[in-house]
Amino acid sequence: MSLQTVVDDVKGRVETLTSQGQKVAQISLDTLKQTGEIVVDKFQALVKTESEAAKELYASAKLGLDKAIADGLKAVAAAPISYLPPKDKFVTVYTDTVTLVSATGEELYKTLKTGFSSIQAEILGEAPVKKVKAAAKKATGAVKKAAAKAA
């Protein structure tokens, strides 16, 4: 085997590995963009939900306090629970939060799993999963729309 053959063989392998590395980096970046968009969207939804719930609970607590002050100490001592905010509001807020966080976790898991599968397919030389690129483009578009809307 001549030296030129060995050099050509190594050069071919390096070019292949470089190409795969670039594709893996692109898939990783696309996956990262998509997960970032998921986290931002869900966090904004969580903040909105929690702030609305906090406002409602504050208003309800203030109403109960005002009622307790107006009714007097004897009335409050006789039925203290009637001056508290309704229990269902707390349960609703908790349920909404758990649902949102669970959905976010599932969505992130699916996205990362798809990205990992795409990277694995690229390394093994199989056709990469196209979902990550399409989803990343969609996420990037959504970020641009949100930024334009905010501005």
C-alpha distances in Å from residue 151, one per residue of 53, 133, 137 = 26, 27, 21
Q: Does the pLDDT of residue 140 top 80, yes or no?
A: no
pLDDT of residue 43: 92
Mean pLDDT of 23-30: 90
Question: How many angstroms separate the Cα of 91 from the Cα of each of 45, 80, 86, 97, 105?
Answer: 18, 20, 9, 10, 21
Convert 16-32 into a string of H (helix), E (strand) and C (coil): HHHHHHHHHHHHHHHHH
Q: How far apart are CA 128 and CA 106, in angstroms?
A: 22
pLDDT in tens, 109-139: 999 999 999 888 888 877 655 655 565 566 5
pLDDT the model gives residue 145: 63
Domain boundaries, the chain: 27-50+87-150
Q: What percent of the chain has pLDDT over 90?
A: 36
